[in-house]
Chains A and B, each alone.
Chain A
Amino acid sequence: AQSVTQLGSHVSVSEGALVLLRCNYSSSVPPYLFWYVQYPNQGLQLLLKYTTGATLVKGINGFEAEFKKSETSFHLTKPSAHMSDAAEYFCAVRHSGYSTLTFGKGTMLLVSP
């Protein structure tokens, strides 16, 4: 069975600093990988996804993630944090042939001035 681990329930950065949110997955077959963001009182919004092809994926709001098969990782990064990036971020995996998503526990990103 697939699973997703997000290291750190909370990550704090200063405005302008690098954002790094970690995600590792367990899977016996190549997965599809996703990052979602949830702002307060809103639904989950897709930031980016990896299906096939280029392992470095660019998403909305300046975020990107790199699929590293050897490390079973799909970490989310952004070079310079903005106050508006403060939200909860969820990593998710979906296996080929299945439509359901398996989520991590989420990481709350806190951005200080």
Chain B
Amino acid sequence: EPEVTQTPSHQVTQMGQEVILRCVPISNHLYFYWYRQILGQKVEFLVSFYNNEISEKSEIFDDQFSVERPDGSNFTLKIRSTKLEDSAMYFCASSEKALYNEQFFGPGTRLTVL
């Protein structure tokens, strides 16, 4: 069964460093998403991506964040200069279509900023 994969499963970084979280969506899906969950809080939407551009983004997704689909399979989230409050579980998701299709989630990357 096709699934969304994410690497690494756990990333530890120093404050101020850049991190790149990687996701491989399901191959025939066209819409991609990043969500995050700070420990003990809600899963929050960050950004959606379609046709090589951002289609929606939340207030959380500021200039420190960027997304890219560098090739036909990967979808990445970059945080330019990490802050302590960026520590969270980051989930990638993909869907075949935008509005009426299920979003399939990856297992998440736990980011710890020290």
Q: Is A106 an interface residue (CB 8 A)?
A: yes
Q: B43–A98 contact, CB under 8 A?
A: no
**Could you tell me how many residues of chain A have their Cβ less than 8 Å away from some Cβ of chain B?**
23
**Contacts between chains A and B (CB distance < 8 A), count:** 57
Interface SS of A by simple majority = loop
Do residues A43 and B100 form an inter-chain contact, with CB atoms below 8 A?
no
Bound-state Cα–Cα, A96 to B98, Å: 11
Q: Is the CB of B55 within 8 A of A99?
A: yes
- Interface size on B (CB < 8 Å)? 29
Q: Are B99 and A41 in contact (CB under 8 A)?
A: no
Which of the residues B43, B102, B106 comes within 8 Å of A49, measured between beta carbons? B102
Contact B43 A90 (CB under 8 A): yes
Q: How distant is the Cα of A4 from the Cα of B106 in the complex, in angstroms?
A: 22
Q: List residues 76-106 of chain B with CB under 8 A from any CB of chain A.
A: 91, 93, 95, 98-100, 102-106
Interface residues of chain B, those whose CB is within 8 Å of chain A, are 3-4, 9, 31, 33, 35, 40-45, 48, 55-56, 58, 91, 93, 95, 98-100, 102-108
